[in-house]
Amino acid sequence: MSHNEILENLDNIVKQAICELQKINDHTAIEQWRVKYFGRKGLFADITSAIPHISPELRSETGKKINTAKKQLMQMFEEKLGFLKNKEASDTDVNFTIPGIIPDVPNLHPITLVSREIVGIFQKLGFGIHVGPEIETDFYNFEALNMPENHPARDMWDTFYLDEDRKLLLRTHTSPVQVRVMQKLSPPLRIIAIGKTFRRDAFDASHSPVFHQVEGLMVDKNITFSNLKAVLIFFLRELFGSRVRVRFLPSYFPFTEPSAEISISCVICGGKGCQTCGNAGWLEILGAGMVHPEVFRKSGLDCKNITGFAFGAGIERIAMLKYGIDDIRQFYLNDKRFIQQFG
Amino acid sequence: MKYSLNMLGEYVNGKWSEDQVEHWLQMLGLNPLFTRKNNDVFIELEIPSNRGDLLSALGIIRALTPYMEIEPKYPDIDLQEKSARKLSVEIESPDDCFFYAGRVIESVSIGPSPEWLRERVESAGFRSVNNVVDITNLVFWEFGQPLHAFDIDLLKEKIIVRRAREGEEIITLDGTKRNLCNDVLVISDSEKPVALAGIMGGINSEVGPNTKNLFIESAFFNPVRVRRGAKYLGMCTDASARFEKGITPSLIVPALDRCCWLINKLCGGSTGPVCVVGDIRAEKRVIRLSMEKISNYLGCEIQKDFVITTLERLGCCVERQDDIMEITIPDSRNDIEIDADIIEEIAKYWGYDRIPESMPLVCSPTMSSYEYSRLDALKDVFIRLGFSEVINLGLGSEFQYEDTNSKSIEIINPLSRNYAFLRCSMIQGLLQNIQDNSNRKVDMLSIFEIGSIYKKTSSGFDEKPSAGIAVMNTYNLYYFKGIIEYILRKIGYGITSQRIVRKEYGRVIEFLQKEDTVGRILIPCDDILKKYDVEKQEIFLAEIMLQDFVLNGFSEIRYKEPPRAMPIRRDLSLIVPNSVDWRKVEEMLLKSIPELEKIEIFDIYIGRNIPAQSTGVAIRMFFPNPESSITKQDIEHIIANIIEIMQKHFSITLRQ
Ligand SMILES: [Zn+2]
């Protein structure tokens, strides 16, 4: 073989070796490759053995070129070997198909979550958050709300009493907080109250003797029914999405006049009619109205120069619609598997 | 009361469509439910408790009049008095019965109602009884004035309206014997009660097949008296529901006359002159209202023509005096008392949906109460510690696990024994949550609840905010105790001492701030674990009183620069006899070793390799070393000293 023939041969061997090496994917193949090129009878041994046959002045140059090529291939060989080792190790040391372990993430109760969402919306409008006692007096729960003794409207709230005179009771709504706040703070004021309320209703899918309410009150000079509508539509669209439609219809509460019952277009069917909305397309969500002058009077405010509106809603009902819960009892079972869904 | 669309249609001149009527009733907020049956439509309505007037056909028609283009048609009355017979009526308590009217009808023939009448009373929701009773019910349905027919031959001498005497009784028309009391108003003859006034008649004066002569009653009983009597007796009838809301005085006699006229038409007989006692309160209710007030209240302009037409079609009389209208309210509308009530009527017929929305201008925002914001923020502290929130009803059967000197509050009219008491501690609810979850095969639980607890005190009822905490298989006692101690510190409680108390339900660690117990850890005894079916689980509970926290808030955060010098740290693993009060050990070491800054406990073990009645405690000691003056030899010396003090005073040894 001449010098040129050797170099040409070397070139081919290197090209072929690289090409073959790239395709190799396991240990057996790479060992065969090593033997083929660098084994005792391998191609490099072959080509090296040809060196003594060429002219002496070209020997050292040819030798260098062979060595360089050999080094280059050996390096590629080592890299490939390392890659194969890693690959096999990672395939067998760890099973990546086993799912990760999800941590036990602590959760707030959905009633707290919904309450916070409501609070957040009203805080944007400058409302303060207030609370009141759950054990109430007849005065705050009924009388100050324009329901004197023997008022037929008292039948709207089936009440738990704590004394024989029926003067102490578990509040049936959060409306007493209105009166307590108006006795303490002077207008202008805007507040919401959130808390537990109690009614003598037996448990079923939509009734619970204990539930939560949010109550709102805004009092100032020149507050109008039109303001009530704007605030409540803002609230409901923030809570249920901007596409929700809101309907106001007349209603009756002794402590508001005019009174309204407010419904939203069904969040399940969008108003077409379904089981949740009783095929009506509407869901009752809020009771509201302009504060009755008698309530101002009983709270010690001069009603000549002020007007106001008030509203109330059940937190559980809102949560049920928001999350698609169909049984109010779920809230009080405190099943970890229930609470964990709201994280 | 039920309304059939066909029947209502007989009381208007002209035609209306079903859709119109449904829409109008909807607009009035009466939530109509229409059911179709045999070529007719039956309407169920939700009548607000202040609208007695809507408990009658004429009332409903009147309420629809402002929408209608057709006119209402009133029932015919053409009564001829053909007899002179009267019955003597006395009202013993005029406060209970404002007005009483009646007529005697002689020689009637009682029998089944003709088909048209039977159909009508049945579609109005009554059971057909006989011609006379059916007529009283039909007229009641039309006018909203309850009427009652007595067999006058069963009455002794006269009618007396009076309170029942204690011990009196009556069998009512439904066949039930009623024991009466002084709260109940009765109609009696000279001997005995013959009817419960405004509620139900008595069987002893019932109109039956053999009745010949009648006395028809039409009266105005005090709504409160009827309500209290019905409540006492546990009864609610169509008549009592109507009387409770106040009937329409001006319809008392017309309803009586129409009833007698129909009886004469259908059952024959001759009617006598009207017997009247009392005085119809004919006070004229006039309310003054300006157009300006309407627009200020509603926030939009409504045309004056609309206002006046609407009110007039509702039966009001509107007199215009410059800007102020003087509006006379019909006596059927006892719900309209103030100007806001009239504004509501106008808004209703105008349509709430037609009132535009406008955001109120920003007035100064109102501050929140600390009670809400602090308790709400505390929930996040628990969440950060890995606890999930639960909310319990707070009602239950008699509560235990309270501290000794408090009593739980009882509901006097509970739904059931299971929900008869208000909780005076959070513990019971949390134990229930643990049991329920354990039954559902949840094996680890860390929960908290923030809410009110209620106690009877010498001065009355007491309601206080409280936090309950419970763990199942998530923490050992010392980690749990650490969490409780962290929270107590976080909410600003300076614990001055702690006390171990043995109770029948387990051992309790009480945390005291001066004299007051502000927190408790409960290690439930085996009996309790067994009772809740969780014997194999590691369970700890705690309760923290939050009243002071609500007043004072979280402990204040004050920045302190961390020491720049590298502190020296040394760990020791100790065996501490359980009789040792660890706080004393810490106290003594900090006092006797000036270089020692603090001691932290970083691990605790019991059981294997630890002698009985002892606890393995791993401590970490910090020596600040600000000038790097403590040498290695110094520290060895100090440690030796510490070990010696612990050994000598507390018999604490090093763990091998
Ligand atoms: Zn729907």
Average pLDDT score over residue span A133-142: 96
Q: A64 and A159, same structural domain? A: no
Both tokens of B263, joined, read: 């009886």
pLDDT at A89 over 80: no
Average pLDDT score over residue span A211-238: 96
Percent above pLDDT 70 for chain A: 99
Residue B655 CA: distances (Å) to CA of B303, B617, B619, B643: 94, 9, 12, 11
Q: Does B382 touch chain A (CB under 8 A)?
A: yes
Residue of B nearest to A208 (CA): B393
pLDDT of amino acid B656: 75
CA of A159 to the centre of ligand 1 (A): 31
Instruction: Kindly determine whether residue B392 and residue A334, on different chains, have CB atoms separated by under 8 Å.
Output: yes
Identify which of B40, B8, B18, B45 has the alpha carbon closest to the alpha carbon of residue B29: B45
Contacts of A196 (CB under 8 A, 6+ apart): A134, A210, A211, A212, B394, B451, B452
Residues of chain A in contact with residue B343, where contact means CB-CB under 8 angstroms, are 257-258
On the 0-12 / 13-18 / 19+ scale of CB atoms within 10 A, A137 is middle
Q: What is the tens place of the pLDDT at every residue in B446-497? A: 999 999 999 888 888 999 999 999 999 999 999 999 999 999 999 999 998 9
Q: Which of A128, A252, A339 sits opposite B388 (nearest CB)?
A: A339
Instruction: Dump strand ranges (E) for B421-482.
Output: 421-422, 445-457, 460-472
Q: A130 and A72, same structural domain? A: no
pLDDT of amino acid B459: 83
Q: A266 and A136, same structural domain? A: yes
Q: Does B373 touch chain A (CB under 8 A)?
A: yes
Q: In 3-state terms, what secondary structure has residue B508?
A: strand
Distance (Å) from the alpha carbon of B442 to chain A's nearest alpha carbon: 8
> What CA–CA distance (Å, rounded) separates A335 from B447?
11
Q: Which of A116, A133, A224 sits opposite B298 (nearest CB)?
A: A224
Q: What is the ipTM of this complex?
A: 0.89
pLDDT of amino acid A30: 86
Within 290-319 of B, beta carbons closer than 8 Å to A belong to 296-300
Which of the listed residues A57, A90, A123 is the one where a domain comes to its end?
Answer: A90
pLDDT at B539 over 70: yes
Both tokens of B126, joined, read: 């009554």
| CB of B207 closer than 8 Å to CB of B150 | yes
Query: Is A262 inside any structural domain?
Result: yes
Average pLDDT score over residue span B222-228: 94
Average pLDDT score over residue span A119-142: 96
CA of B412 to the centre of ligand 1 (A): 40
pLDDT at A78 over 70: yes
Q: A136 and A64, same structural domain? A: no
B174 is in an annotated binding site: no
Domain range for A67 is 3-90
Query: Is A27 inside any structural domain?
Result: yes
Both tokens of B586, joined, read: 């810490």
| CB of A145 closer than 8 Å to CB of A171 | no
Query: Is A25 inside any structural domain?
Result: yes
Query: Is A95 inside any structural domain?
Result: no
Tell the residue number behind the tokens 């009150």, with chain if given: A217
Reported confidence tier of residue A137, pLDDT bands at 50, 70, 90: very high
Query: Is A102 inside any structural domain?
Result: no
| CB of B282 closer than 8 Å to CB of B316 | no
Reported confidence tier of residue B401, pLDDT bands at 50, 70, 90: low
Q: A125 and A56, same structural domain? A: no
Contacts of B278 (CB under 8 A, 6+ apart): B91, B94, B97, B98, B99, B100, B220
Determine which of A116, A147, A167, A229 to mutate to test the interface with B (most B C-beta atoms within 10 Å).
Answer: A229
Reported confidence tier of residue A147, pLDDT bands at 50, 70, 90: very high
Reported confidence tier of residue A101, pLDDT bands at 50, 70, 90: confident
The amino acid sitting at B352 is Y
> What CA–CA distance (Å, rounded) separates B183 from B552?
51
Q: A140 and A34, same structural domain? A: no
Residues of chain B in contact with residue A248, where contact means CB-CB under 8 angstroms, are 352-353, 355
The whole-model pTM stands at: 0.85
Q: A242 and A154, same structural domain? A: yes
Q: A145 and A257, same structural domain? A: yes
B647 vs A305 pLDDT, higher one: B647
Which of the listed residues A33, A59, A90 is the one where a domain comes to its end?
Answer: A90
Reported confidence tier of residue B399, pLDDT bands at 50, 70, 90: low
Q: A185 and A254, same structural domain? A: yes
Q: Which of A164, A190, A292 sits opposite B412 (nearest CB)?
A: A164
> What CA–CA distance (Å, rounded) separates A144 from A134?
16
Average pLDDT score over residue span B246-258: 95
Query: Is A104 inside any structural domain?
Result: no
pLDDT of amino acid A303: 79
Identify which of B89, B96, B216 has the alpha carbon closest to the alpha carbon of residue B150: B216
Give chain B's mean pLDDT.
Answer: 92
Instruction: Dump strand ranges (E) for chain A.
Output: 128-130, 135-137, 168-170, 189-198, 210-220, 246-253, 256-265, 282-291, 307-314
Instruction: Kindly determine whether residue B389 and residue A108, on different chains, have CB atoms separated by under 8 Å.
Output: yes
Tell the residue number behind the tokens 């005019």, with chain if given: A258
Report the C-alpha dihedral over residues B562, B563, B568, B570, rounded to 10 degrees: -30
> What CA–CA distance (Å, rounded) separates B462 from B468?
18
Distance (Å) from the alpha carbon of A186 to chain B's nearest alpha carbon: 10
Q: What is the tens place of the pLDDT at every residue in A175-210? A: 999 999 999 999 999 999 999 999 999 999 999 999
Q: What is the tens place of the pLDDT at every residue in B501-529? A: 998 889 999 999 999 999 999 999 999 99
Which of the listed residues A26, A56, A90 is the one where a domain comes to its end?
Answer: A90
pLDDT at A70 over 90: no
The amino acid sitting at B290 is S
Instruction: Dump strand ranges (E) for A61-209.
Output: 128-130, 135-137, 168-170, 189-198
Q: Does A304 touch chain B (CB under 8 A)?
A: no
Q: A63 and A192, same structural domain? A: no
pLDDT of amino acid A279: 87
| CB of B397 closer than 8 Å to CB of B421 | yes
CA distance from start to end of chain B: 89
pLDDT at A333 over 70: yes
Q: A222 and A133, same structural domain? A: yes
pLDDT of amino acid B421: 92
Domains of chain B: 3-67 (3.30.56), 88-278 (3.50.40.10), 285-354 (3.30.56.10), 370-552 (3.30.930.10), 568-654 (3.30.70.380)
> What CA–CA distance (Å, rounded) separates A191 from A127?
5
Report which secondary-structure segment, H or E, holds B98: strand B97-106
Identify which of A150, A137, A171, A169 has the alpha carbon closest to the alpha carbon of residue B231: A150
Q: A116 and A85, same structural domain? A: no
Query: Is A172 inside any structural domain?
Result: yes
In CATH, what number is assigned to the domain containing residue A256?
3.30.930.10
Query: Is A99 inside any structural domain?
Result: no
pLDDT of amino acid A43: 83
Into how many domains does chain A fold? 2
Helix axes A315-323, A110-124, angle to 10 degrees: 100
Residues of chain A in contact with residue B29, where contact means CB-CB under 8 angstroms, are 249-252, 260-261
Reported confidence tier of residue B402, pLDDT bands at 50, 70, 90: low
Q: Which of B344, B356, B366 sits opposite A258 (nearest CB)?
A: B344
pLDDT of amino acid B88: 94
Q: What is the tens place of the pLDDT at every residue in B575-629? A: 999 999 998 999 999 999 998 999 999 998 887 788 889 999 999 999 988 777 8
pLDDT of amino acid B655: 87
